[in-house]
Amino acid sequence: MNAEQILENAKTIAVVGLSRDPAKAAHGVPAVLQAHGFRIIPVHPSATELLGEKVYRSLKDIPEPVDLVDVFRPSPEAPGIARDAVEIGAKALWLQQGIVSAEARRIAEEGGLEYVENRCTAVVRATAAISKN
């Protein structure tokens, strides 16, 4: 499955590393996805609410199914996030632009997840005109 199909099939997106800072891509990209009808679930170590949604400390704390785990964290953190994504039964793992991890790819694919790295979900959404609204 290609990146466009993965995003088209997703409705609920857990965003690991969603930023409090509106100037950062890690805030703006999830906000754009949310504006286009995707359900965004923020994962952040200390915030309580971001983009009007309850924040969870880890993927494992999210009490509902997740289609896509969107990662805005440095590449060395990706394998651990991949393990958590497999554990919660996510359908896909997506590492944002500039984030690459051969180990995360191996963990995700061995766990049955679709995998994208070094691509921006907002760019793919815009280019493919994907909207849930």
Q: What is the 3-state secondary structure (H, E, C) of the chain?
A: CCHHHHHHHCCEEEEECCCCCCCCHHHHHHHHHHHCCCEEEEECCCCCEECCEECECCHHHCCCCCCEEEECCCHHHHHHHHHHHHHCCCCEEEECCCCCCHHHHHHHHHCCCEEECCCCHHHHHHHHCCCCC
Residue 124 is which amino acid? Answer: V
Domain-embedded: residue 133: no
Average of per-residue pLDDT values in the chain: 97
pLDDT tens-digit profile of 41-89?
Answer: 999 999 999 999 999 999 999 999 999 999 999 999 999 999 999 999 9
What residue numbers bound the domain in which 95 lies?
3-128
Instruction: Give the integer Cα–Cα distance in Å for 20 and 119.
Output: 21
CATH number at residue 44: 3.40.50.720
Residue 9 lies in a domain: yes
Average pLDDT over residues 98-120: 98
Flag whether 12 is in a domain: yes
Number of domains in the chain: 1
Burial class of residue 71, CB neighbours in 10 A (0-12, 13-18, 19+):
buried
Please give the backbone phi and psi of residue 42, each rounded to the nearest 5 degrees, phi first.
-75, 140
pTM of the shown model:
0.97
